[in-house]
Amino acid sequence: MDLLDNTVRPYAWGSPTAIPQLLGVEPSGEPQAEMWMGAHPGAPSRTARGTLGEVIDADPKAELGEEAVARFGPRLPFLLKILAAGAPLSLQVHPDLEQAREGYEDEERRGIPVDAPDRNYKDANHKPELICALTEFDGLCGFRAPERTAELLDGLGVDSLKPYVDLLRAHPEEAALREVLTAILTADREEMARTVAEATAACTRLGGDYLPYADIAHHYPGDPGVIAAMLLNHVRLQPGEALFLGAGIPHAYLNGLGVEIMANSDNVLRCGLTPKHVDVPELLRIVRFEAGDAGVLRPEAAPDGEEVYETPIDEFRLSRYVLPEGTAAHDLTLPTPQILLCTAGAVRVGEYDLAPGRSVFVPAAEKAEVSGAGTVFRATVVV
By annotation, the residues acting in catalysis are 270
Distant-in-sequence, close-in-space partners of 260: CB < 8 Å, separation ≥ 6 = 34, 80, 81, 82, 83, 129, 130, 131, 132
**Is 40:265 a contact under the CB 8 Å cutoff?**
no
Beta bridge partners of residue 3, listed in sequence order: 360
80-108 burial, b for 16+ CB within 10 Å, e for fewer? bbbbbbbbbbbbbbbbbeebbbebbeebe
CA distance 300 to 306: 8
Residues 146 and 174: their CA atoms lie apart, in Å, by 9
40 in Cβ contact with 4 (< 8 Å): no
Closest among 317, 311, 334, 330 to 371, alpha carbons compared? 330
CA-based nearest residue to 320, from 330, 5, 51: 330
- Bridge partners, 232 (sequence order): 143
How many Cβ atoms from other residues are within 10 Å of residue 228's Cβ?
A: 20
